[in-house]
């Protein structure tokens, strides 16, 4: 990645925001590196937009500090923060042309006419809208509108780019295409970026790091692969990817599923106290034909669903819990899958045997 020379670090320290007695943000802290792409991921109402608005300067926190580089920003108004913002609903001026919209931040900054024309053309080329300058915004598709909004957010070379669910109005195909485009644009420009989404796949696709937020607090801040492969707690394991949970007992440093001791990856120790085994459908295999040294889970097949690229087998374990396993269709063609009503033994590799603390009932 080319880190833009002016890209600052962003330091968020102990930021709290309450609405009446409700804590939308509860002393959150996060260090974002210069040129990094960080996503705030969480369910509806978890505080993502509030934190983004605190960064933008539209919401003032009750306490805490926001620094861009070395400069304290918490009392600075939005227009002094040098931030580009893209919202979910485009927020374009419908009566203006594409060029009028994209050039707007430059006119505000009193940039000369010919310079505006040059930079607007450059920004439009970056979002693959060369030659669209004279079009009216209301003649564009959703994807094109969002590209215009992106061009407008980057045309004045902001030091920081904030995006709040910018793709959620688009259909799935376009959304996936735009995810890659925004990621590539980020790699070219190196602007420090904070992106908000509730879509875990989008977060995994786009981010250098993801901050998972739950009820105004960070549940885990990590790279996409660490977040998926090593979720720190039940909330993250549940929210990122598909998981089922099996109760495990921990004693003398070993974790037991039923009466079997679970093999864990080298150096991994089970949490103390009650724990849960995180079972992801695609990490399970049929035990028959699987190698030695794996963990076994026994049960009965309850259902089998064809889903195109894979079959999903629903399994009731011998101690009565429900889990699921996924078999790619290509592999399922080579072996007979057990049918509903039949017993099944499943294998789980120690590297994929993830334990999280069982949280006390609320
Ligand atoms: P969504 O994905 O639905 O946009 P979010 O994670 O972005 O959710 P926020 O918009 O940050 O969530 O809201 C966090 C919480 O703060 C919510 O419970 C919301 O109702 C509350 N909240 C946000 N703004 C206000 C406000 N101006 N007054 C009162 N409560 C608010």
Q: What does the pLDDT average to over 6-16?
A: 92
Tens of pLDDT, residues 82-133: 899 998 876 888 888 999 999 999 998 899 999 999 999 999 988 889 999 9
Task: Output the residue whose Cα is nearest ligand 1's atom 10.
Answer: 49
Torsion of CA 236, 241, 243, 249, to 10 degrees: -40
How far does Cα 59 stand from its chain's mean position?
23
State the pLDDT at residue 8: 86
Residue 351: closest CA among 262, 276, 290, 287:
262
Please, are residues 42 and 199 in contact by the beta-carbon 8 Å criterion? no
State the pLDDT at residue 4: 55
Residue to mutate (ligand 1; options 15, 24, 54, 202; most atoms within 8 A of CB): 24
Question: Can you read off the two tokens belonging to residue 226?
Answer: 């660490």
> What distance in angstroms lies between residue 48's CA and the mean position of ligand 1's atoms?
8
Cβ of 198 below 6 Å from ligand 1:
yes
242-357: CATH, from 2.40.50.140, 1.25.40.10, 3.65.10.10, 3.40.1390.20:
2.40.50.140
State the pLDDT at residue 27: 97
Q: Is residue 2 scored above 50 in pLDDT?
A: no
Q: Is residue 1 scored above 60 in pLDDT?
A: no
The CATH 3.40.50.300 domain(s) of the chain lie at 1-80+159-241
Q: Is residue 230 scored above 90 in pLDDT?
A: yes
Residue to mutate (ligand 1; options 44, 45, 51; most atoms within 8 A of CB): 45
d(CA 42, CA 272): 27
Instruction: Please tell me the chain's helix, strand, coil percentages from 3-state DSSP, rounded to the nearest 5.
Output: 30, 35, 40
> What distance in angstroms lies between residue 46's CA and the mean position of ligand 1's atoms?
7
Report the share of the chain in percent with pLDDT over 70. Answer: 96
Tens of pLDDT, residues 245-275: 999 999 888 999 998 999 999 888 888 888 9
Question: Can you read off the two tokens belonging to residue 242?
Answer: 């598909």
**Within 10 Å of residue 37's Cβ, how many Cβ atoms?**
24
Q: What is 1-80+159-241's CATH superfamily?
A: P-loop containing nucleotide triphosphate hydrolases (3.40.50.300)
What are phi and psi for residue 351, nearest 5 degrees?
A: -65, -25
Question: Can you read off the two tokens belonging to residue 252?
Answer: 């003398």
Tens of pLDDT, residues 30-60: 999 999 999 999 999 999 999 999 999 999 9
Cβ of 42 below 6 Å from ligand 1:
yes
Tens of pLDDT, residues 139-183: 888 888 988 999 999 998 899 999 999 888 888 888 898 899 899
Q: Is residue 289 scored above 70 in pLDDT?
A: no
Report the share of the chain in percent with pLDDT over 90. Answer: 70
pTM for this one? Answer: 0.91
> What distance in angstroms lies between residue 24's CA and the mean position of ligand 1's atoms?
7
Question: Can you read off the two tokens belonging to residue 67?
Answer: 């620094």
Tens of pLDDT, residues 315-353: 999 989 999 999 998 877 777 889 999 999 999 999 999
Cβ of 224 below 6 Å from ligand 1:
no
The CATH 2.40.50.140 domain(s) of the chain lie at 242-357
Task: Mention every residue, 6+ apart, whose C-beta is less than 8 A from residue 214.
Answer: 42, 43, 46, 235, 239
Task: Output the residue whose Cα is nearest ligand 1's atom 21.
Answer: 24
d(CA 25, CA 48): 9
Please, are residues 40 and 199 in contact by the beta-carbon 8 Å criterion? no
């Amino acid at each position: 990645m080319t880190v833009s020379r002016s890209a600052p670090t962003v330091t968020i320290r102990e930021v709290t925001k309450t609405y009446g007695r409700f804590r939308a943000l509860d002393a959150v802290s996060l260090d974002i590196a210069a040129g990094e792409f960080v996503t705030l991921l969480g369910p509806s109402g978890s505080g993502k937009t509030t934190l983004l608005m605190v960064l933008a300067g539209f919401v003032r926190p009750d306490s805490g500090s926001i620094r861009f580089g070395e400069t304290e920003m918490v009392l600075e108004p939005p227009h002094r923060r040098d931030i580009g913002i893209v919202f979910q609903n485009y927020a374009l001026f419908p009566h203006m042309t594409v060029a009028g919209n994209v050039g707007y931040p430059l006119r505000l900054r009193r940039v000369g006419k010919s310079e505006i024309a040059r930079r607007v053309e450059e920004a439009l080329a970056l979002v693959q809208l060369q030659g669209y300058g004279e079009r009216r915004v209301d003649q564009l598709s959703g994807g094109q509108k969002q590209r215009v909004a992106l061009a407008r957010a980057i045309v004045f070379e902001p030091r920081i780019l904030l995006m709040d669910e910018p793709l959620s109005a688009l259909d799935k195909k376009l959304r996936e295409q735009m995810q890659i485009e925004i990621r590539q644009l980020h790699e070219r420009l190196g602007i420090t970026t904070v992106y908000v989404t509730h879509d875990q796949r989008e977060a995994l696709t786009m981010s250098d790091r993801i901050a998972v937020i739950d009820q105004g607090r960070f549940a885990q801040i990590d790279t996409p692969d660490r977040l998926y492969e090593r979720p720190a707690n039940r909330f993250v394991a549940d929210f990122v990817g598909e998981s089922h949970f099996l109760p495990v007992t921990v004693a003398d440093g070993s974790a037991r599923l039923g009466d079997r001791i679970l093999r864990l990856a080298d150096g991994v120790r089970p949490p103390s106290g009650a724990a849960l085994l995180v079972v992801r459908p695609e990490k399970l295999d049929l035990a028959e034909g699987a190698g030695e040294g794996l963990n076994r889970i026994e049960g009965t097949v309850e259902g089998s669903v064809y889903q195109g690229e894979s079959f999903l087998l629903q399994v009731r374990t011998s101690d009565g819990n429900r889990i699921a396993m996924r078999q790619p269709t290509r592999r399922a063609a080579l072996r007979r899958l057990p049918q509903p009503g039949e017993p099944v033994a499943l294998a789980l590799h120690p590297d994929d045997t993830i334990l999280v603390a069982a949280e006390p009932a609320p």
